[in-house]
């Protein structure tokens, strides 16, 4: 670790070595629980490689681990916007992770809200994100758990009125759930 701390003095001519060492340092900071230093190191890395989606996803994960949910959510949204407007390319193996992170963050933030309207807004954003999910990106168990969590959150907020409210914008199709009514029954029965 002490050797890695000296990497700031690595000359600019050897940028790939610097990136590798900084990445190792960020991982080491994260494993030791020093999340602020890991975040700072990842920000430095992103300055060196602004189009590297993997580094940006690592930063989002570190924000989430550190409880900085708003920063993590902003990171998810900026990566998705950058993907359509710049040369940021998300590797196929990372697309599912990014969508899962984004969904998880929306649900985590919704759980912390005391206002029903804020809960509703965040859950509707979650459902919107499910609708824009590319068909070629497989859904993992964590994302499916988020779907269940969102339904339980709505059931606890709206009770039996969940079936009749027009404020909830349910997706037209559900991952592994055949119809909207099936999803509602699962949530109400839980």
29 pLDDT higher than 70: yes
22 pLDDT higher than 60: yes
Mean pLDDT of the chain: 79
Copy the structure tokens of residue 178. 């055949």
Q: Give residue-wise pLDDT tens across range 131-140.
A: 776 665 556 6
At residue 67, the pLDDT reads 94
Mention every residue, 6+ apart, whose C-beta is less than 8 A from residue 94. Answer: 53, 54, 57
At residue 137, the pLDDT reads 58
Strand partners, 89: 52
pLDDT top residue among 102 and 127:
102
At residue 51, the pLDDT reads 87
Mention every residue, 6+ apart, whose C-beta is less than 8 A from residue 116. Answer: 157, 158
Domain boundaries, the chain: 1-90, 92-190
How far is CA 102 from each of CA 86, 146, 172, rounded to the nearest angstrom? 20, 10, 20
At residue 177, the pLDDT reads 45
Nearest-angstrom CA–CA distance, 179 and 65: 34
* Architecture of the domain spanning 1-90: Alpha Horseshoe (1.25)
pTM: 0.76
When pLDDT is cut at 50, 70 and 90, the band that residue 42 belongs to is very high
At residue 32, the pLDDT reads 95
Q: Give residue-wise pLDDT tens across range 138-175.
A: 566 777 788 778 878 877 777 766 655 677 776 766 55
At residue 150, the pLDDT reads 82
């Amino acid at each position: 670790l002490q050797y890695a701390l000296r990497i700031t003095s690595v000359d600019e001519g050897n940028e790939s070595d610097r990136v590798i060492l900084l990445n190792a340092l960020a991982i080491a900071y994260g494993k030791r629980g020093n999340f602020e230093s890991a975040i700072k190191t990842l920000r430095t890395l992103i300055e060196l490689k602004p189009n590297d989606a993997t580094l940006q996803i690592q930063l989002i994960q570190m924000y989430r681990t550190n409880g900085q949910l708003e920063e993590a959510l902003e990171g998810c949204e900026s990566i998705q916007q950058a993907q359509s407007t710049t040369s940021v390319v998300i590797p196929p193996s990372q697309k599912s992770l990014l969508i899962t992170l984004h969904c998880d963050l929306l649900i985590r933030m919704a759980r912390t809200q005391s206002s029903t309207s804020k809960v509703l807004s965040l859950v509707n954003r979650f459902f919107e994100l499910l609708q824009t999910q590319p068909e070629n990106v497989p859904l993992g168990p964590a994302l499916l758990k988020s779907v269940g969590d969102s339904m339980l959150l709505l059931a606890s907020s709206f009770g039996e009125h969940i079936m009749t409210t027009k404020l909830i914008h349910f997706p037209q199709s559900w991952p592994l759930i055949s119809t909207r009514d099936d999803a509602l029954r699962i949530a109400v029965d839980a």
